[in-house]
Each structure stands twice: as C-alpha cells, then as structure tokens.
Amino acid sequence: MQGNKIYRLANKLIRNNYYNYFIQACILMNTVIQSLDSYPEPYYAVEMDRANSFFSIVFIAEVPIKLCGFGFKYYFTDFFNCFDCFIALTSLLDILLSNIEVNINLGAVTALRTFRLLRLFKLAKTWKSLNKLLTTMVQTLVDIS
C-alpha cells in the first residue's frame, strides 16, 4: 500500500502542517459558529447554516483522506479518528435528511452537531497550553468535589 500514489499523496497531505492548521482553524471557527446559535433564530441564521454545511463537508472529507493516508487498520486504532468518523457520519446523515423531504423530526440528528464541539479536545492533544488548561480545569473540579 505504501507504493500507492493515492496513499502517498494522502499521507503527505495529512502530515502537512498547513493542512493540520486548516483543520484546527475549522474546529475553532465551527465552535464559534455553534456558540452563536440562539432562539429565536437570529437574522444571520442562513449564514450560520451555510457555515455549518461548509464545516460538515470539511469534516466529512477529512475521513477518507485520513483513511487513505493512514490505512484502515491504523486509522481506527486512534480514538480521535474513530470519534471524527462518528462526527462525519452524523454530519452526513444530517445533510442527507435535511435535503430530502421526510416526515420525521430532525431535531435528534441536528442535535448531534453539538458533538462537534467535543473536537476541541482533539486540539488539546496538539496544543500544549490548551492541554494544560483542560488538565487544570479537570483537576480543580476533582479537588472541589
């Protein structure tokens, strides 16, 4: 598999710092966009939906790129990759069900968007200062309970 052109290209992409910065920026921007959601719907709700669709597409596209770059076996040995795959599949389901005429309540599926916020913990793996902050917060919660 390592001789495969697609494998080499995907592997080179996922190891590229700019690609990783782009994914990290998408995670942060997606968090900000989701934090702006309110009831009643704000006047910028259409733009928020477009941004959510963009981030969904980015996160969905990340899965096959990483699968090709890491290989199936190695990809699923990492917890964060499994979690990303779950988020991508729920995002895909959200997009598909939102764009077809169905008589079901989509609230449960769109509520799964909130799982994307947990991708912030993925950043803690690479950002030492965020990791330290989260560790301190958890330790503080343990100490006061």
Within-domain flag for 84: yes
Q: Residue 144 falls within a domain, yes or no?
A: no
49 domain-assigned: yes
- Domain count of the fold of the chain: 1
CATH for 52: 1.20.120.350
- Does 140 map to a domain? no
Model confidence pLDDT, tens digit, residues 77-136: 988 889 889 888 888 887 787 777 666 665 665 666 666 767 766 776 666 776 677 677
- The per-residue pLDDT for range 61-78, each reduced to its tens digit, is 999 999 999 998 899 998
pTM: 0.74
Residue 138 located in a structural domain: no
In a domain, 73, yes or no: yes
3-state secondary structure string, the chain? Answer: CCCCHHHHHHHHHHCCHHHHHHHHHHHHHHHHHHHCCCCCCCCCHHHHHHHHHHHHHHHHHHHHHHHHHHCHHHHCCCHHHHHHHHHHHHHHHHHHHHCCCCCCCCHHHHHHHHHHHHHHHHHHHHCHHHHHHHHHHHHHHHHHC
Whether residue 135 lies inside any domain: the answer is no
Is 71 inside any structural domain? Answer: yes
Range of the domain at 91: 5-120
